[in-house]
Amino acid sequence: MEKTRIGVVGCGMISDIYLTNLTGRFGHAVQVMAVSDLSQDRAAAQAEKYHIPKVMSAQEMIDSPQIDILLNLTTPRVHFEICEKALLGGKHIYTEKPLSLSYAQGKRLLELAEKRGLYIGCATDTFLGAGLQTCRKLIDDGAIGKPLAATAFMMSHGWEGAHQNPDFYYLTGGGPMFDMGPYYISALVSLLGPAKEVAAMTSRGFETRTILCGPRKGQSIPVEVPTHITGTIRFETGAVATVITTFDVWETPLPFLEIYGTQGTIVGPDPNTYQGPVLLRSAVDPTPGQVSMANQYWENSRGLGLTEMALAIKRGEPARAGGRLGLHVLEIMEGFHRSGQDSRFISLESRCERPRAFIEENLI
């Protein structure tokens, strides 16, 4: 089978794991043909490290007949611009999250892709990993009966101790909801299906943040977005979820993700990972039992969603980490912010199919 040819735009922090996986474990299906960055040095360094044949500009990639899909690993503010250019230039695109800064922008991208018969895919793809697919299999197999409710907690004190340029985490398009929400909300939609309405209260614990590592250590950066969001989601099935995402909290023993059904409870993994463990407490056996994994993607498998999309294009099937899911997640996240601002429930306009399960027989 011919490999799908990829051009990577953005050679920052997350590019290493993508390039490792795309040139390694997913290298049988995809081939990275070129990398691009505003910093020529950064792009050249990644090209050398991962034996990528070319360094190009994003526009050169769009114009090149040697490239099938652009992988957009730029910062959130640039996502829309790169995706729109790629689609207008006739290229499929897979972008890091969030799909765009606003639902309106995301909708424009989806319309453009659909009009031109192109695929648009969007991270996160951790919901395809072993941990969350094990939860999915338990639900599909009826292990907890009918799912009634869920809780999801992303509790942290932000990224300024781990990222040398954390500015984007605190500007529009960032914050704990737009940055980390996609992992949790994609997981919830994959497990419980599409949502109907959301509500939230939001706050901002700190007016500025101080960078704690790298060459800019000690520099103060502005905070533009809410950094504590406590929200609720009502799904089309009637199930409801409580979701907190925060960059204002130091330590807490709260679980990452739990699903409550008529017959039992699933204690899920951190949705920002591909791994387990997954515990099941059923009405008949309340002792928590660890469940064996439903697929083999428990290591950091970034690039799995893109590779699955590459194969879906060949088969003419919808991609699991597709744009409709990305847009629905974006509307939910924006809905939380709007609800917090306006003190009202937000009905959702977008809808997506619950992505198909991705279990053992779907390995790629």
Ligand X SMILES: NC(=O)c1ccc[n+]([C@@H]2O[C@H](COP(=O)([O-])OP(=O)(O)OC[C@H]3O[C@@H](n4cnc5c(N)ncnc54)[C@H](O)[C@@H]3O)[C@@H](O)[C@H]2O)c1
CA distance 305 to 355: 12
Q: How far is the CB of 46 from ligand X (least distance, A)?
A: 9
Q: How far is the CB of 38 from ligand X (least distance, A)?
A: 4
Whether 263 contacts 144, CB under 8 Å: yes
Query: Cα angle vertex 24, ends 20, 27, to 5°?
Result: 120
Query: Cα angle vertex 225, ends 224, 231, to 5°?
Result: 170
The site for ligand X (CB under 6 A) is made up of: 9-15, 36-39, 42, 58, 73-76, 78, 96-97, 165, 179
Question: Tokens for 153?
Answer: 């907690």
CB nearer to ligand X: pick between 71 and 150 = 71
Q: Which DSSP symbol is given to 213? A: S
Whether 299 contacts 274, CB under 8 Å: yes
CB nearer to ligand X: pick between 237 and 300 = 300
CB-based contacts of 182: which residues, under 8 Å, 6+ apart? 97, 98, 123, 124, 326, 329, 333
Closest-approach residue to ligand X (CB): 12
CB nearer to ligand X: pick between 163 and 196 = 163
Q: How far is the CB of 81 from ligand X (least distance, A)?
A: 7
Location of structure tokens 């800019």: 216
CB nearer to ligand X: pick between 267 and 306 = 306
Neighbour count for residue 57 (Cβ, 10 Å): 15
Q: How far is the CB of 98 from ligand X (least distance, A)?
A: 7
CB nearer to ligand X: pick between 39 and 208 = 39
Q: How far is the CB of 15 from ligand X (least distance, A)?
A: 6
